[in-house]
């Protein structure tokens, strides 16, 4: 939305309409590329974590995250 405003009138006093249009198209392409990167990375990570090894690693890490503070509460400070 900001690209449409910026590419349309604000801050483009000397820019030609073609330059403003190119800016809007480039901003759209950058945004779409970022969204595709996030979606693709999430899909790959999800596929890796739902396998047998991924579930084991996730279970061990979550157990360690829960056990470490619990053990810290059992040890007296000092």
**Torsion-angle region of residue 77: left (phi > 0), alpha (psi -120 to 50) or beta?**
beta
Q: Can you give the residue range of the structural domain that contains 26?
A: 2-74
Per the structure, how many domains does the chain have?
Answer: 1
Q: Does the structure show a pLDDT above 70 at 42?
A: yes
Calculate mean pLDDT across residues 5-27: 76
Q: Decide: 58 and 49 in contact? Cβ < 8 Å.
A: yes
Q: Is the pLDDT of residue 12 over 60?
A: no
* C-beta neighbour count of 7 within 10 angstroms: 22
Residue 9 scores a pLDDT above 70: no
| pTM of the full structure | 0.51
Instruction: Tell me what the mean pLDDT of segment 4-18 comes to.
Output: 64
Give the pLDDT mean for 32-57.
94
> Six-digit token pair at 50?
């739902």
């Amino acid at each position: 939305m900001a690209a449409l405003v910026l590419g349309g009138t604000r801050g483009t006093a000397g820019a030609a309409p073609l330059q403003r249009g190119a800016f809007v198209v480039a901003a759209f392409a950058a945004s779409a590329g970022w969204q595709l990167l996030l979606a693709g990375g999430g899909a790959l990570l999800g596929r890796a974590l739902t396998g047998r090894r991924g579930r084991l690693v996730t279970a061990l890490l979550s157990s360690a995250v829960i056990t470490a503070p619990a053990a810290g509460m059992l040890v007296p400070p000092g």
